Amino acid sequence: MHKRRVHTGEKPYKCEECNWRGVDSSSLIHHRKRHKGEAAKKEKAAAAAAAAAAANSACKILSLISLILHFWWKMYMVLEYANNPRILTN
Ligand SMILES: [Zn+2]
């Protein structure tokens, strides 16, 4: 028969991450699993945020490149037109 500690208020198993206290190791293990789940969730959220930030910066870089290319192409066309005005009429 499983015997429980009868002394009320005696909770020798303490969680290191919060103020939780428990009377047996199995409930502590059960409790610690919750922290692991939270940590995994936080890790996932952080990874998602990092990926979003990377995608955002990649998007910014791409739009900057396209802006530069567009500008460069315009300049090129202007210079080409200046060198050879017939280029657009033909
Ligand atoms: Zn805890």
Q: Tell me the DSSP string of 23-48.
A: SSHHHHHHHHHHHHHHHHHHHHHHHH
Instruction: For residue range 4-29, list pLDDT tens digits in order.
Output: 555 556 899 999 999 999 999 999 99
Instruction: For residue range 24-46, list pLDDT tens digits in order.
Output: 999 999 999 999 999 999 999 99
Given a cut of 70, is residue 76 above it in pLDDT? yes
Neighbours of 28 (CB within 10 A): 19
- Residue 14 alpha carbon to ligand 1 centre in Å: 8
Any residues with CB less than 8 A from the CB of 27 and at least 6 apart, and which? 13
**Reduced to 3 DSSP states, what percent helix, strand and coil does the chain have, rounded to the nearest 5?**
70, 5, 25
- Residue 8 alpha carbon to ligand 1 centre in Å: 20
> For the whole prediction, is pTM greater than 0.85?
no
- Residue 49 alpha carbon to ligand 1 centre in Å: 25
**Phi then psi dihedrals of residue 22, to 5 deg:** -140, 165
- Residue 51 alpha carbon to ligand 1 centre in Å: 29
